[in-house]
Structure 1
Amino acid sequence: MDYRFKIRFGDTDAAGIVFYPNYYRWMDEATHEFFNNLGIPTDQLMAEKIATPLLEAHCVFKLPGFFNREIVLTTKVEFIREKVFKLVHRFHDGDTVLAEGYEVRAWVSLEGGRPTSQPIPDEIKEKMHQHLIGG
């Protein structure tokens, strides 16, 4: 699944290249877009007292990103387990890969005031399986 955006001036540092924390912000945005495109937007999940908190994140920076460039961030599913899933993100500027990263997230109920991991519903797993790497 693709998420497109333009690098804004405020996303860059004094050297004129993307300040690295923005890649993590964009991966988070792409994850929310991913679920939105599956037909289960984050606001709907939150209304149902469900969250997908981040357990782990990593990003490898290959080449710098620059102001006003349009970026395509491709998101795929690496794995889905009972309560945890991993999304892989690749940042493209045209044919050039700028960065690659991933997020590991849990499926969590917010009922009762304390976050508690829950099995990912089968219908959600089925939708996610359509975006498996190599699938």
Structure 2
Amino acid sequence: MKNIHTIKVAFGDTDAAGIVFYPNFYRWMDQAAHELVGAALMPVSKLQKEKNIILPLLETFCQFKSPLFFEDLVEVHSQIIDMKEKVFKVEHVFQRENKIVAKGYEVRAWTSIENSQPKAVPIPKEAQEAFGFFKREK
């Protein structure tokens, strides 16, 4: 499953040179990942409240190809590109006018907070299926 999250660059997202300050790409990847999970399965807030599941980051990366500026519209194309038993990798491609301006990824753990101590647990089949990674038994 792929999700597109559109962002309009705000003045506060830029540095003194008028270019988007790099940590904002990581903030936007986080937002886009939450939008992806919400579109495929359920809102992240509901996942936490009803299922006691959180999705902490284990690793992040972003490669910048072209700057973004105040009032640019950027689309973040997000999809899960790899899924293991307890972790998954989300790829994010930032596009302005159909040109790639940045690419990045996040690795997240499917984590239970049921017993107050966060613990990575297997990703349920319903979530695997929602993200397009469930392989049915033959």
TM-score greater than 0.5 by the shorter chain? yes
Contact 2:41/2:127 (<8 A) preserved: no
The answer to whether residue 129 in structure 2 is matched with residue 126 in structure 1 is yes
Superposed CA RMSD: 0.9
| 1:129, distance to aligned residue in structure 2 (A) | 1.4
Name the residue aligned to 2:26. 24
Matches within 5 A, 1:1-135: 1-47=3-49, 48-129=51-132
Q: Distance in 1 between matches of 2:88 and 2:105?
A: 10
Tell me the matched-pair count.
130
Contact 2:66/2:102 (<8 A) preserved: yes
Residue identity in the other structure for 1:107: W
Give unmatched runs, 5+ long, in structure 2: 134-138
Q: Distance in 1 between matches of 2:120 and 2:98?
A: 39
Q: 1:113 is paired with a residue of what secondary structure?
A: coil
TM-score normalized with structure 1 length: 0.94
